[in-house]
Structure 1
Amino acid sequence: MSNKEFEQQLQRNLSALPDDIQPERDLWPGIEHALGQTPENSTQKRATGYWGMAAATATIGLMGWLGLSQLPVTSDAEQLAQVLSQQHQQQKQALLASFDGQPALTDNWQQQVDELDGAAAAIKQALKEDPNNPALLRMLQQVYQQQIDLIERVHAPTWQKI
């Protein structure tokens, strides 16, 4: 099929589509529910949103700092791993506190977090043996980010947001 034939076929198919598509169900009840939230409910969601923004800002700042700076060739890499671990623990605790009382989507999410903790411990052990390896530091940061993403997805999935 030539390019011209393809374009003609595409135009025919596009013109055959209806001009507007009606939703399969009435969407107004969901909109009314979202608009009719109580003030304390929206305040709680706003506070959760602030924690999420703070966590995202800290993560982006750390990623930018790691990406823009040259990784040191001395034992500062070990100190950087410690700082990275401390920041992650603070961020994780703040995130878990913000989701306190909210039901999780799965029952085994804590097991997944523990598995990621095990991966972080293995990377830290490898960093002790090879402290000047920037790939290991990036892997550690990625494991920490996966843990944060997991906690957020389990407690505040995107399909629940309007």
Structure 2
Amino acid sequence: MKNEITDVSLQQQVDELSKEMSPERDLWPGIEKAMAKQSRSNVKRPFYPVAWAATVVVAVLVSWLSFSPQPGTSTSNVDIAQVMQQDFNEQKQLMLVNLGQPDLKQLSPDMQKQFDELKKAQQAISKALENDPTSVELLNLLRWTQKQELDLLKQIYSPKWQTI
């Protein structure tokens, strides 16, 4: 076989090759274009992170300003107690309109006693809140007594609902 190449012949062929290779065309215009594109794109890139950072800062400031309490608009606990009482009265009135006015005289003495105790408790808590408007415990107790009265009203009307 004539095509067999030995290490010695391969080394001779490598030694005969020229030490330098020249390209078929001039490569410098392509290199200059690539460098110019990189320098132009580097100029544009820093703008985007700055824009994102500015957007985040603006969003945080708008959120902070819109959710921060305005001076002079803070509500005191006395106002909270009044709002709770108004809300309770509205809920009770809505329930009574939907269900009808109860005839408390027809209720059992035990139910009448519970209604009276709840009303007295609400009055006592309201007076205590006038003296100590910052008491969270009193506000919670007022809410609980109001809920109990609404639940008692529901309980009174539950037998009528079942018979319909």
TM-score (norm 2): 0.46
Computing the radius of gyration from Cα coordinates, the structure with the larger value is: 2
TM-score (norm 1): 0.46
